[in-house]
Structure formats: structure tokens, C-alpha cells
Amino acid sequence: MGHPDRWLLFGGIAAGALFFSVIGVLWPLADADLMRTTSSLRPEAVRLFQGFGLDLKQYGSGSRLRVDEPALSYVESAFGRDTAQRFVREGYPLVLYRATFKHAHVADAITVLFHPSGRILGWERTMQEDAAGRDLSLAEAEVRVRTLVDGQLGIDLARYQVKERASHEQPNRRDHRFTFERLVSEEPELRERVDALVCGDRVTKAMRSLVVPAAAERVAREHRAPVEGLQALGIAALAASAVCALGVFLSRLSRGQVRLRPAVAVSLVVAGLLLTTSVLQQSRLFEQWDPLWPQWISYLKELAYGSIEDLAIVLVLLAFLAAGDSLDRDGVAPPHRGASLWLLGRGRFSEPTVVAASARGFLIGALCGGTLALGVLASLACFGGRTGLQPRGFFFYPLNSAAPALTTLCFFAHIALLEELGYRFFAGTWLKALTGRTWVAIVVPAVIYGLCHTSLDFLPPIEPFWARPLVMTLVGCVWGWAFFRYDALTVILSHLTADLFIFNWPRLASGDPWQVVAAAATIAVPLLPAVIGLAQRGRHGGPSAAGQPVDGSA
């Protein structure tokens, strides 16, 4: 890194220090164990169903961390952060694990809900309509529910009001459904509900939930209108950008000005990243499995259908990349802003531009983190805003993955490639060519980028609703500046760095030394090209052999 960029080192370090000093304010985590594994939950489920006369030891299982987002958002806004955290700790079903048990050739599935502490919050066992069972009376069924819910969930239903009693005749048994409720708080209003189902003489369902008042639901729906409106504007502008990219791509392709091979190669890499991310969501795939099917057929179906949906992303990326590359090479002389990306793709780590992009990208990622932190803190201080308890949204990709580190890298590498090649490499380059004004090429894509993140509640702040797109626009401007100051690879790696900072936070905060080390190692991955390149240059005495083109066009 040259002398003119030394300020970037100090600025990046300062911004990174600010970001990590307030990351718990930006993304406050629910006071719960977010790292439970299926194997740690399974014994308690086996014990529960042994008491019901069913041996789960031969059943396959999978579990996923879930959050009741409507209830959590209501509790946090109505009662405050401290009360919401207390509710989480006390075992209200706000943050929970959903464990699923299935056996090949057995039509019924079993679901057990766990508090992150390992305590059971509820269960459900499907039962086929034609399955036989005893015909209990409504009163007998209710006694059975009250006994089991008290014994297994520790809930005394005598404190609850019965809101529903219903019976339904099946071909070979009688089913009974019950709903119990109690008032947790009168003002603000909050009720807890227990839904129970008795199929024949078996209590096949007992599930707890918190009930958001209807009035609060209506208010929340009203408040979503401007949020979704801004998001829709951003998506419409992004779609228009994709159409423009397609037009530029096809026009230049007809004139022989498009290099398809590198664009197709990067698009295939992104397709591979998306497929790997889906494959690693093993618990989700297990939930989707129909146990009357061979498991591989179910998995193949889910992955194939998901790949068809991902195909749209890959094709849009292909248009962005091919069009952006063609525009980028219209410059007077190499190297161009895409040059270091192509060099990295060809394995030329020792090229100075690749080494510099890796180091600068990491520091600019930290700079973006600091920009985001300052923007959010300003909105909290000046406009009475607030952030929301996490995890939500994209946090669940690594948290529910069979390989969290690999999923984090694959998913957010695809995000970084798609967004930076779209917003900066194509849109920035195209707008600069159209207008001749760098500031337009920086600001317009940044505004679209900010608008497209308006409704993403895993990003701060939650309120005021306009602050999130504004903050993300500022971050987008930093990336736009970096793109025109440096190159495409720099902003791709900086985007990846920023995402790795954010979405490794639950593992960094876990207190588990192995999780912390793994998260720190994952965050450092964008520096690998620089490390490898410097090592190669140390062994061979310099960058790539003379005579090879530095713009990666060979």
C-alpha cells in the first residue's frame, strides 16, 4: 500500500474499532444461547416421547433456530428492551429452536419446540386421518391435556381461561381441540396462548405462543406502508438497471465488444455459491422431506427448484458483469477497474493490484462499518430511533447451517459479487460514461442500494423507518468512492468484509472459544489474496512474469 493510502490504514483501524465497540448497540442479540445443536436437544425430545410410548431413537432429526418476529417486535416496542430480554430468559416462546423428527416410511412427523436453555416449550405430532384411536369425551380429553401440559411444560392451565373447546369426528376416532389463554399484561396488552389437540387418546399437540393484540397488528401493518413503498421504489430502480444492463449487453454483444467467457465463469461461481449455501441448510431440507419418499429425491427436488429461482440472480449478474466489463474496457489504456478481478480469477495473487485490493478492501470494509455505526448512532441520538433484537433475516443462514463458516463465506460472497458488480461495476461505470460526472455515478447507485434495504429488519435502525435507507445510502457512497478511487475487486472484498463483520457477530458474542476463533478466522478471509500474493512474491522475487498483460485480458 503506497504512501497516499496510509491514511486509509489509520482510518480503517479507527472505524473498525468504533464499529466493534458499538456492535452490541447496532445488533443487540437476544439473551439466549444461539448456538445449540440438534444433538444437544435430541435427548430431551427422546425422553418426552418415551413417556408417550414412542421411541425416537431410530428417527432422524434436524433443528433450526427461529424467532417469532411479530411477537418479539411488539414486546420490544411496547414493553422495552429490558422486558423483552427478561421474557426471552424466562422462557416465553420468542426465541426458540424447532426440532423435527422423522422416520423413513412413517407418514407422521414430530415437532418439538425448545427454549434455547433446552427446556421444552411445546410439541406436535401429526396423525393420519384414518389412524385409529379411543373416543374420549370432551371432559376426559381436557383432563388429559391439563395433566400433560402441567407435567411436561410446567404450565398450570388452571390460571388460563378456556377460549375454545371443539370436537371433530374422524373415521376411526374422535379428536378434540382446546385453546387456553391468560393475560400476561393488561396495559400494554399481552396474552399467552396454549393450543392443544387430542387425537383419540393421545395429546398430539401442546404449543405455547404470545398473542399480539389485533390493534397493535393493525398499527404495525399501517407502519409498513412507507417502508414497503421505499423498498418498492428501490426494487423498481434496480429492475430498470437490470434492463439497461441487458440492453447494453445485447447491443455490445452484437458488435463483438463483449467477453463472455469471464462473465460466464463468475456467474457459474455465484451459482455454485448459492447451491452450496442451499446444500448446507440441512435442517431445512430435512423439514421439507416427505418420509414416504426416498430422502435423496426430496433433497434433489428442493435443491433443483431452488436453483431455478437462483437462476434469475445468475442471469442478472451475467448481464451486469458482461455489460460492465465491456464499458470498463472502453477506457483509453489498461489497467481498468475490472483488471484486478480478472487477475484474481486467473490465480495471479502476486500481482500488486490484487494484493493492494485485498488489503484496501479489508480496510474499506472497516470504514463502511464505521460509517454505518456513525449513521445509526446519529439517528438514535437525534431522532429517538431504536434498534431491534436479533437474530433475524440473513443471520439465520449461518446460524442454521451445517457448516456456519462456509455458509457465511458462500452466501455473503455471492451478495458482495452481485451488489458490487451491479451497483458499482455496471451502474457506476455506465452513469459515468453517460454523464461524465463521477458524483452522479457514486450517488445514484448508492441511493438505489439504500432504498433496496429499507425493509430488511436485520439491519439497524428499526426506527425511524427512513433512517435505514439513508444510512445504507451513505455506506453505498463509500463503496462508490472506493470503486472510482481504486477498482472493482477492492469494493467486492470490502463488501464481503463488512458482511463478515456483521454476520459473525453471534459467534463472536457466544463466549465459546472455538466459535470465537472460527468467526475471527472467517472475518480474515478477504485478506487471503494479499497474504498468498505476498508469500508468492517473497518466494519468486516479484509479481507475475514479464510480458503477461496486467489487465487480465489474456
Residue 87 CB burial class (10 angstroms; 0-12, 13-18, ≥19): buried
Residues 183, 295 within the same domain: no
pTM (2 decimals)?
A: 0.93
Please provide residue 193's backbone torsions phi and psi, each rounded to the nearest 5 degrees: -125, 145
Helix and strand totals (H; E) in the chain:
21, 8
Contact 177, 170 (CB under 8 A): no
- Structural domain contains residue 6: no
Question: Are residues 234 and 155 both part of a single domain?
Answer: no
- Check whether residue 243 and residue 174 sit in a common domain: no
Predicted confidence at residue 553, as pLDDT, reads: 46
Residue 360 lies in a domain: yes
Distance, in Å, from the CA atom of 12 to the CA atom of 372, rounded to the nearest integer, reads 13
| Same domain (yes/no): 195, 239 | no
Q: Determine the pLDDT at residue 546.
A: 36
Question: How many residues can be counted in the chain?
Answer: 554
205 and 236 fall within a common domain = no
Say yes or no: 321 and 351 in one domain: yes
Q: Based on the structure, what is the number of domains in the chain?
A: 2
Per-10-residue mean pLDDT, the chain, length 554: 76 96 98 96 96 94 97 97 97 97 97 97 96 94 96 94 95 96 96 97 96 97 97 97 96 93 96 98 97 97 95 96 93 73 93 95 97 97 95 98 98 98 97 95 98 97 96 98 96 98 97 96 97 87 47 45
pLDDT for res 330: 84
Same domain, 152 and 293: no
Of 483, 454, 455, 459, residue with least CA distance to 470: 454
φ, ψ (nearest 5 deg) of residue 208: -95, 150
Asked whether residue 13 is domain-assigned, the answer is: no
Is 480 a domain residue?
yes
Q: Which of 163, 196, 216 is the last residue of a domain?
A: 216
The answer on 238 and 157 residing in a single domain is no
Residue 248 lies in a domain: yes
> 404 and 312: one domain?
yes
Range of the domain at 115: 35-216
CB atoms within 10 A of CB 96: 24
pLDDT computed for residue 51 by the predictor:
93
Residue 401 domain-assigned (yes or no): yes
pLDDT for 554: 39
Please check whether residues 366 and 294 belong to one and the same domain.
yes
- Reference 200, options 161, 162, 168, 232; nearest CA is 168
Last residue of a domain, one of 216, 247, 278: 216
166, 181, 216: which is the final residue of a domain?
216
E strand or H helix at 221: helix 214-254
pLDDT at 540: 72
Q: Mark whether 188 and 260 lie in a shared domain.
A: no
